[in-house]
Homo-oligomer: A and B are copies of this chain.
Amino acid sequence: MRDHAPRAVTAICAALEEQMEHGLLLAGAKLPAERQLSELFDTTRITLRDALVQLEARGLVYREDRRGWFVSPPRLTYELNERSHFHAMVRAQGRLPHTELLSAQAIPAPAVVCDRLGLAPLSQVIRICRRRRIDGRLVLYVEHYLNPAYFPGVLEHDLSQPLTELYAHAYGIAYGQVRFEMLPTALPLEAAGALKVSAGSPGLRITRINHDSRGRLIDCDLEYWRHDAIRVVTTVSP
């Protein structure tokens, strides 16, 4: 409120941070109930929630819809230059990956996808929706759109495995040039639902447009990450 007497929210944030730094609240730990915390800090639930939302914005805590607040685990480093897939990347960082298939079907291509994949209007594409976890925590919702011309019968395969490997083994296709776009935004309804977070929580949208090693445009994806789950890294050479 005043400059010399920090706001209540700031004080609460500082107190919680201090606990986390000193290892009293470990990554993944559940915080006490909001009402309990608001009593502890002698304030209202609204104010306490403001503080938690601040910490959430900074990536220190996160919430699971209607389940409560938890201490955020460290971010995954997403190295764009490495040609590896989610599972390899997560495991290489000593953590446990998991992928769950949500849906897979041929649909009329949305306009954005036609544009990205260079398809004619009203083409069909194969859409694969999945969600992924790191150490059990939901962190990523992905929609893949495949150009069906290159992947006949792809829906018959096990689609919870890394697509990279499926492409290689079943179709002899490997990724070549990849175009990335990254954009901080709120998670849209679809992604928020799949990740079990309250709609509108902050997220990072990453879109990829993938060519194969022969330069053909083979698929694109739309990834929605929890904003605090990831650190993107890349090296650019002249």
> B-facing mask of A210-238, CB < 8 A → 1, else 0?
00010000000000000110111111111
Interface segment among A54-62, A92-100, A156-164: the answer is A54-62
CB pair A181 B233 closer than 8 Å? yes
A182's contact among B186, B213, B232, B237, by CB below 8 Å, is which? B232
A177's contact among B57, B75, B204, B238, by CB below 8 Å, is which? B238
Query: Contacts of A204 on B, CB cut-off 8 Å?
Result: 184
CB pair A59 B236 closer than 8 Å? no
- Cα–Cα, bound, A187→B25 (Å): 24
> B-facing mask of A149-191, CB < 8 A → 1, else 0?
0000000000000000000000000011111111111100000
Total copies of the chain: 2
Query: Contacts of A103 on B, CB cut-off 8 Å?
Result: none
Query: Contacts of A179 on B, CB cut-off 8 Å?
Result: 233-236
A68 at interface, CB cutoff 8 A = no
CB pair A231 B177 closer than 8 Å? no
Nearest 9 pairs of A and B residues by beta carbon: A57-B186, A184-B227, A58-B186, A182-B232, A54-B200, A184-B184, A183-B231, A179-B235, A177-B237
